[in-house]
Chain A
Amino acid sequence: MSEQTIGQPPAGEKPVAPPEAKNSNNELFRKITQGPGLVSVLGVFVALVIGGLLVAVTDKKVIETSSYVFARPSDFFSQLWRAGTESYVALFNGSIYNSAQGFSPFLETLTVSTPLICAGLGVALAFRAGMFNIGAQGQIIIGATMAGYVGFAWHLPLVLHLLLVVLFGLLGGALWGGLVGLLKARTGAHEVILTIMFNYVALYLLDFLMNTTAFRRPGETNPISPILDANATFPAMTGSRLHLGFVMAILLTVLVAWMLKRSTLGFEFRAVGHNPEAARTAGVNVARTTILAMAFAGALAGAAGVAQVAGTEKVLTVGVAGSLGFDAITVALLGRSTPWGTFFAGLLFGAFRAGAVNMQISTGTPIDIVLVVQSLIVLFIAAPPLVKSIFGMNPKKRVRKTETIKAGAK
């Protein structure tokens, strides 16, 4: 805290400029998106327990044994335990390690997490600049569309082709995100509404394009594009779907971390995110920063589109983005909007996604349980007082009171 006050001279003038409500809201926003660690772990734990219970109570054998629970409670409880844990064991086997395949499921986890990390970084970066980027979905779609088109319509030499695919993917996402930034900066429209609407526009645009001769595979009636040129795709590791896109995700994480911490632009992003009024007083061009932050966020989401179309799928379809854009929001929230936090949150949710396929096959638990666990995790992490009260960590609500006093003193 003390370091920050030294680094930001305008902080002393704070009481003059911002209206009180706005300030406390920013404070909250920061607390939610960037907070302490132990509660996160407990939050994940509680979410997993609730998810397990949901699986257990809909399990046939559990329902069966519950009819004579008072006669033989041991049956009921052993079935309850079995149903609740069986799914998670299958999840683990499908995402990290199992005795038959060794660690090769983990490679699948890395593959699935690649677009999650990229898009999550896009959401996180916008968070840091004080904006809520619900539009990762649309940015992924436009990024994937442009990257895909370059990939199958152009025929270029090795390396160059892939570079152009990546470049156009980033550009597409940046365009779609930057447009939102521009509208927000020029008209003051709220980015949440804008991005939601842009998601649908992007989806219908792709749907339209997939039905044109330029995008549809010749001789095909379904809306599916030609397969991307071999030169245009990320080289994959033999024996798995893991591709070089994962390295791109690591590089982007490093880049975003460096940018936020060391670059002028990153500093401006954070300054605007903390307090746009103070940033403007300090000479930051808020409008320009808003546009750039959304463009960069869009480019990162676009990279997720590239990872999908040039790495995992190798073709462009209407469903190329899946639900990645919305998963990315939960990834960024779990990662508390820090680049490396987002990276590891992406790995965790990637593991959920990858393992869920195995779970559905071996135990019949629907993949949807992952959505439930994922959203519960975010809810619990967003409300530390709730988790604390579950574990009895804040008797008499003393914690909240002191926090308010602190915020007021600042």
Chain B
Amino acid sequence: MTTTTSAALQPSISLLPSKKTPIVLSVIALITLISFGFLGSNQAANFSLSTNTDAFKIPDLVFPGMATNIVFGVLLLAVAGYSWWLRSKGRTLPTYAVVLAAVLFVLGFLIWVVSGANINSISLASLLAGAVVLAVPLVFGSLSGVLCERAGVVNIAIEGQLLGGAFTAAIVASITKSAFAGLIAAGIAGALVSLVLALFAIKYMVNQIIVGVVLNVLVSGITGFLFTTVMQEDPELFNSPAHLPVVAIPGLSAIPVLGPILFKQSVIGYLMYLAVFLVWFGLFKTRWGLRVRAVGEHPKAADTLGIKVNATRFWNVTLGGIIAGIGGSFFTLVAIDSFTKEISGGRGFIALAAVIFGRWNPIGAFAAALLFGFADNLQVILTIIGTPVPSQFMAMMPYLVTIFAVAGLVGRSRGPAAAGEPYVKE
């Protein structure tokens, strides 16, 4: 479909790489130079890096708004010019340059916003730490998506898995008074949602997107129903879950900026780092991972080599469900005191976006989820310091970025070839 339509639109074959990257880079360079630089406020933007509990202090970073952004704008123009030059030579910009441009743009935006705000100072440390906390369910959700899609099953039901996990964690942790029982139950609940997905997608070969969409509605309906009929009848017994404590590792957690991010997390937070590593290692460094990816890319070839295609898919979808369910328990065991209807609030869809933006790679999805968590937290903090940018536009960012990503405006993103297609053995 992709190749045929673009071929139909561009009959003459161009040998040069796409113009998209240079164009996008030029646009963001001009935005930085003109809107953030020349038109921006020149008040100093103050970023504090340390908090009072840190082991040692790092001095605050202070940037004059206009001057810094003019410098950033010129630098970005240089990167854009370089990419145009590379394109004329038939080459594309290396990834590190794209990342550099993105970082410059985000920093420039941040400096512009803070310098134009009512309060010209924010704590970078708490901004980043908060971003990680908000990203936890997104990371788990996106890992579930990566596991399913790498095996060739499209998982739109991440939202349902998160919600199911959150609900079950709340009810089990309330009854047993044990947060760990809640955590395990959440994994089981996520797996149950996955089982339905696997049953319909693999056994009955129903379109996987349909099953995913419908499962989200089903889980939302069941949890909403049970919330009203069971939980609200006796909130003391059914909806006051025991909480997972935040475990600070002595010494290490007092490192400025990095300490709270890496060494002051809940159990689920530490599990997140572990899960990202394990999924990455499993998918790309083990025989199991090679088989999974083969099933997702070319099931027929995998089958020919004796890999059980549908069994692999089934176990991957189940594993994905367990992971997403645990991620969902973060809502009720760590973040919020009790379960409420629709507590996942569409984060499953952002996790889906992170899968695509992270190009179906666990590390990439992790980075994308962190970025979305960052945008989410930034929106909260910017509302507090009172900036000219409406918070709704900040909230829109993850979605817009994803649209750009899937439209191929920031590099190509291509999923596993066989994702969404049921496999029938002949």
Q: A366-B225, A383-B206 are in contact. Are A280 and B218 (CB under 8 A)?
A: no
Contact call B403/A194, Cβ cutoff below 8 A: yes
Q: Mark A103-130, 1 if CB is under 8 A from B, else 0.
A: 0000000000000000000000000000
Contact call A386/B204, Cβ cutoff below 8 A: yes
Q: A29-B207, A379-B200 are in contact. Are A208 and B222 (CB under 8 A)?
A: no
Complex CA–CA separation, A368 to B210 (angstroms): 20
Which stretch from A251-259, A283-291, A338-346 is at the chain B interface? Answer: A283-291
A187: CB under 8 A from chain B?
yes
Which residue in chain B gives the minimum CB-CB distance to A193? B406
Q: A32-B206, A207-B392, A208-B390 are in contact. Are A190 and B406 (CB under 8 A)?
A: yes
Q: Mark A133-162, 1 if CB is under 8 A from B, else 0.
A: 010000000000000000000000000000
B99: CB under 8 A from chain A?
no
A357: CB under 8 A from chain B?
no
Contact call B218/A376, Cβ cutoff below 8 A: yes
A69: CB under 8 A from chain B?
no
Which residue in chain B gives the minimum CB-CB distance to A366? B228
Contact call B4/A382, Cβ cutoff below 8 A: no
A163: CB under 8 A from chain B?
no
Contact call B204/A383, Cβ cutoff below 8 A: yes
Which residues of the partner chain B approach A378 to less than 8 Å between Cβ atoms? 210, 214
Contact call B220/A371, Cβ cutoff below 8 A: yes
Contact call A200/B396, Cβ cutoff below 8 A: yes
Contact call B217/A371, Cβ cutoff below 8 A: yes
Q: Closest CB of chain A to B161's CB: distance in Å?
A: 15
Contact call B218/A375, Cβ cutoff below 8 A: yes
Which stretch from A7-15, A231-239, A305-313, A325-333 is at the chain B interface? Answer: A325-333
B249: CB under 8 A from chain A?
no
Which residues of the partner chain A approach B399 to less than 8 Å between Cβ atoms? 197-198, 200-201, 204
Q: A375-B221, A378-B210, A379-B214 are in contact. Are A24 and B403 (CB under 8 A)?
A: no
Which residue in chain A gives the minimum CB-CB distance to B406? A189
Q: Mark B208-233, 1 if CB is under 8 A from A, else 0.
A: 01110111111011101111111000
Q: Closest CB of chain B to A184's CB: distance in Å?
A: 8
Contact call B211/A276, Cβ cutoff below 8 A: no
- Report the count of interface residues on B (CB-CB < 8 A): 57
A4: CB under 8 A from chain B?
no
A213: CB under 8 A from chain B?
no
Contact call B422/A28, Cβ cutoff below 8 A: yes
Q: A183-B407, A287-B5 are in contact. Are A204 and B393 (CB under 8 A)?
A: yes
Output the residue of B196, B228, B229 with the most chain A CB within 10 A: B229
Contact call A196/B349, Cβ cutoff below 8 A: yes
Which residue in chain B gives the minimum CB-CB distance to A188? B2
Which residues of the partner chain A approach B196 to less than 8 Å between Cβ atoms? 379
Q: Closest CB of chain B to A303's CB: distance in Å?
A: 22
Complex CA–CA separation, A371 to B222 (angstroms): 8
Q: A183-B407, A198-B403 are in contact. Are A369 and B225 (CB under 8 A)?
A: yes
Which residues of the partner chain B approach A276 to less than 8 Å between Cβ atoms? 1, 4
B346: CB under 8 A from chain A?
yes
Output the residue of A29, A192, A280, A386 with the most chain B CB within 10 A: A192
Which residue in chain B gives the minimum CB-CB distance to A290? B5
Q: Closest CB of chain A to B162's CB: distance in Å?
A: 15
Contact among B213, B393, B407 for A329, CB-based, below 8 A: B213
Q: Closest CB of chain B to A27's CB: distance in Å?
A: 10
Which residues of the partner chain A approach B268 to less than 8 Å between Cβ atoms? none
Within 8 A of A (CB), among B412-426: 418, 420-422, 424
Contact call A326/B217, Cβ cutoff below 8 A: yes
Output the residue of B218, B225, B227 with the most chain A CB within 10 A: B225
Cβ-closest 10 pairs across A and B: A371-B221, A188-B2, A368-B224, A208-B392, A372-B221, A383-B204, A375-B218, A366-B228, A368-B225, A189-B406
